[in-house]
Amino acid sequence: MAKLTGGVSPIGMGLAFMDWACHLATSPGKQMDLLTRSYAVPVTADGQLADGRFSGPDWQRWPFQQYAQNFLQCQQFWEQATTGVRGVAPHHSQVVNFTARQLLDMLAPSNFLATNPEVQRAAMESGGRSLADGALNWRKDVCRKLAPPGMAVPEPADASYRPGVEVALTPGEVVFRNELMELIQYRPQTATVYREPVLIIPSWIMKYYILDLSPENSMVRYLVAQGHTVFMVSWHNPGAAERNLGMDDYLERGLYAALDQVTAICQQAPIHTVGYCLGGTLLAIGAAALGASDSAAHGTLASVTLLAAQTDFSEPGELGLFIDDSELAFLDALMWKQGYLDGDQMAASFQLLHARDLVWSRMMREYLLGQRSAPNDLMAWNADATRLPFRMHSEYLHGLFLRNDLAEGRYQVGGKPIALANMAGPLFVVGTERDHVSPWRSVYKLHLLTPASIDFVLASGGHNAGIVSEPGHAHRSYRRMAAAAATGGYRSPDQWLAQSELEQGSWWPCWQQWLAQHSASKQIKPPQLARNASLGAAPGHFVLDA
């Protein structure tokens, strides 16, 4: 059943709709409000429809304008109908509202040839070529999806971005490898370097080279050029044989093993640690456990930087719609059969959160207009999916998302509960404005969990583009309030937003200056590159795992 539904629980969905329908049926006031309310169509200052799907001039003509207006009014009706019904459990209300939006987006007039004037115009002007191109695009995608292993199929447009060839090009060496990860040490590009190295822990939901894309937008290259000795963890892409890898394995054989190696190579120097997404959550767990320990095991942390990483999961955004006991029972069943969560299955969940832009608008553009999006390095990385082992993902979803054990002091490391209050500062925490994976207000909640000094930055963009925000990138901005300026006690996220200053450009230089401020003032000669011919040059082997 889980395989048939893609891991979605029909039982959980049915309970949500039953809860909503029963309470709506016994709410005559809500029913009367829905029947008598007027639903105005939102328009822009120049009179065009405010929804971007219907903003073109062709949509101003009858009957297409009527199609769009009727759709937007229907959309408003169901938004009102699925929210504000007294007695409905908040989670059930959110599930019903989300499902209604997805169904409506699927049926939008922009998705069909007969009701989309822009598609009709393109077909007429091209003599039908746009429709023929769209049909070919559809055929290629279907053949690629259904092709058995080993069968030759057309390569996707973004296949030209290969790690070590077009992306992940910063020079370095693999200096350590175990069954779970490779550790890359990057070659210095300056005569002297800061004494404190930078160790980056990316998420194993993704390939590490999101932080080492093309040379012009590589965070690794930027840090190395600024005089930092940089190390990067590259995770092994697990298969069914690794089904029993758990969160403790990623902590011990991932984070702690990397800290041990960097400490040895850099002669016991304190380490600036950086964690991205789930890698940041792991780093917070490790930093809390080390902060509670009296020993100096695994080295000394000079600072902790968390990039779009949640530590409190009580408000995880729309990802929380997929997290309840019934949903996790189905997802566990799906993963138990496979031994892992497949990357395509995970990508489908993320696409569902923004199906309007990532699914329906893309399908309209590629299959009706016959236009392929120009490939780029970020798209290629996004298509380079990874897998998650059964045990780890189940522990992550049950312990962190469902029960919020980390924020509430129940998460255990080595059989002992840990508290984020034990994290030693300083902390540099980055959230992104349009993050549907780690909503920035959820990331901000770390302020409530630790007394450590926190510099918080809110970057423009989403979960990936907001982090890959190199200097010179157009239309980038960020807000920051330094820990020293955050006087007067706790500020809510909205208070912080109102009081922070908007800065134009990339947040990377701001962060690099912060790293420099928390490093020794005197720079040193670069540490000896720990070359080992048997381990090879960056980007290593694990990043190439299919």
Residue positions annotated with a catalytic role: 277
CA distance linking residue 265 with residue 535, whole number of Å: 16
Q: Between helices 10-25 and 90-106, what is the axis angle to 10°?
A: 100
Q: Which of 393, 403, 394, 246 is nearest to 320 (CA)?
A: 403
CA distance linking residue 137 with residue 159, whole number of Å: 16
Q: In the numeric block, which tokens belong to residue 495?
A: 């208070």
DSSP characters over 34-92: HHH---PPPB-TTS-BSSGGG-SGGGGSTTHHHHHHHHHHHHHHHHHHTSS-TT--HHH
Could you tell me how far CA 517 lies from the centroid of its own chain?
29
Instruction: Tell the burial category of 46 from Cβ atoms under 10 Å away from its Cβ (0-12, 13-18, 19+).
Output: exposed
CA distance linking residue 221 with residue 321, whole number of Å: 38
Contact predicate 269/196, CB 8 Å? yes
What are phi and psi for residue 478, nearest 5 degrees?
Answer: -155, 160
Q: Which of 277, 278, 276, 300 is nearest to 287 (CA)?
A: 300
Q: Which of 170, 256, 242 is nearest to 387 (CA)?
A: 242
Q: 285: Cβ–Cβ under 8 A, 6 or more apart, which residues?
A: 247, 251, 406, 411, 413, 418
Q: Distances in Å between the alpha carbon of 90 and those of 57, 82, 87, 98, 235?
A: 40, 11, 9, 12, 37
Q: In the numeric block, which tokens belong to residue 433?
A: 């404005």
